[in-house]
Structure 1
Amino acid sequence: MNDPSISLYPAKDQTVAPTDIGSTGSDNVYLGNAINGIPLLTMDNYLLWRKQLIQMLNLQGLTGSLMKPDGVLTPKQNNELVSVITTKLEGKVEINITDEDNENNARKLWKSISEFFASKQRANKARIHQEMRAIVFDIHDVQKFITEVKTVLSRMREVGIDTSDNVCYNILGKFPEALSNISSRITHSDKPLTNQLILEHLKQFANNQKTLW
């Protein structure tokens, strides 16, 4: 049973109150802010949730203790982290993650969460790559193409997909023959090949089209 004096780890609808975990009052404030900054973990925000949780762990010096295979937590640390983690899970996620074996063990909870979302991330990445492949270039609606590409690039970044060279060439490969001159200008530019460079050229082309029409 958790120590009732620990109030840094509130229920989902409560605010953070100071505790004696930090060595000073300002430490408590920083730690409380870090915990408040952790969103509820949903099926769609794992990377953000993980980043915010790690920031909180770093403040306590517990990152390795929770995440490394040989990490060790004291009973007090374990109870506190279990409280933080479980109050930061959306109901749908909690059902998929927690069981009798891990519900009171922070390290097992972390392992279950990591494994669940690693599998989900692989599926998400495959789906988003397919979305990019499915985009069709319509020379009569270049702005639509730009918008669709930017949307998929944003989703790629959210799930940790590298959007550099391979994705750039994927986008260029969608250009019709009529835009081969623009493609050549992009690939022979003295600037590094980036998605932003490609989209800037396309935006300029779209603006020129509007002027001509």
Structure 2
Amino acid sequence: MASTDKFHIPELTKDNYVDWVSKMSSVLKAKELYQLVIGKEPAKIRGDDGKIFEVDQSKRLDLAHATIITRVHFSVSGRVKKNGGANCPKKLWSNILEFGASKKQANKFKAWYRLVHLPLRVNNVQQFISAFWDGIAVLESLDASIDEESLGHIILMKIPNELAHVRNAIIASGTSSSMEVTYETVLEMLDSQISADSAPVQSKP
């Protein structure tokens, strides 16, 4: 089984750049090819006799190129194979990073849109919390600037009227202490309140 199959790497498209680069980087590191691809592996080393000699990297360069290019979708292959990327893995990787940078702003917009429009209902609180954390992870991977307090208040605004007691409890905690209201604290308190509400009430003997 090939390493790319073992790590379940999809083909690179315009929609999966962040996830793809992360997984491909892991594969290259596992194959000890990552430093070679990013150009940080020395082409010359000093031998035991003290003499400097060039290292034959041709086979490893070929392996690196094959590892990467076979997981690139045809819809973007032309863009990442330009200027020598069709043969050189270093240029290929550089082109892929350049391709991703051009998509980063669009991906940030999509990620923000999905996050702030996540629906919060009485019957999907746990799913909302999980999806919100996933959305934060995506934004962080895109180097987005995240206003933690604003997101905390956005979550509070999303809490439905059926859960008004939960919202009020969170607001009370935030106003009666020095606690900073951020998306993290609101999510944690929302989870705690819902868990407490759903806990079975034990009858007295």
With structure 1 as the length reference, what TM-score do the two structures score? Answer: 0.59
Q: What is the match of residue 197 of structure 1?
A: 188
Residues matched between the structures, number = 174
CA shift, 1:110, in A, is: 0.5
- State whether residues 40 and 88 of structure 1, in contact with CA within 8 Å, keep that contact through their aligned partners in structure 2: yes
Of structures 1 and 2, the larger Rg is shown by 2
- State whether residues 42 and 89 of structure 1, in contact with CA within 8 Å, keep that contact through their aligned partners in structure 2: yes
Q: What is the match of residue 11 of structure 2?
A: 41
Q: Specify the code of the residue in structure 2 equivalent to 1:49.
A: W
Q: What is the match of residue 155 of structure 1?
A: 135
Q: Does 2:165 match 1:182?
A: no
Please give the alpha-carbon distance, in whole angstroms, between the structure 1 residues aligned to 2:115 and 2:31: 41
SS of residue paired to 2:84: coil
Q: Call closer, same or farther: CA 1:126–1:78 in 2, change over 3 Å.
A: same
Q: Call closer, same or farther: CA 1:119–1:183 in 2, change over 3 Å.
A: farther
With structure 2 as the length reference, what TM-score do the two structures score? Answer: 0.61
CA shift, 1:50, in A, is: 2.5
Q: C-alpha deviations, 1:42-98, integer Å up to 9, x for none?
A: 334433433333233334443223225x65663322221111111112233324422
Structure 1, unaligned runs of 5 or more: 1-14, 17-32, 209-213
User: What is the percent sequence identity of the aligned residues?
Assistant: 20
Q: Call closer, same or farther: CA 1:36–1:205 in 2, change over 3 Å.
A: closer
CA shift, 1:204, in A, is: 4.7
Q: What is the match of residue 36 of structure 2?
A: 65
SS of residue paired to 1:132: helix
SS of residue paired to 1:103: coil
Please give the alpha-carbon distance, in whole angstroms, between the structure 1 residues aligned to 2:127 and 2:6: 34
Farther off after superposition, 45-54 or 98-107: 45-54
Q: C-alpha deviations, 1:89-136, integer Å up to 9, x for none?
A: 223332442236311111111111112123323322222212333457
Q: What is the match of residue 53 of structure 1?
A: 24
Q: Specify the code of the residue in structure 2 equivalent to 1:170.
A: I
Please give the alpha-carbon distance, in whole angstroms, between the structure 2 residues aligned to 1:168 and 1:56: 37
SS of residue paired to 2:85: coil
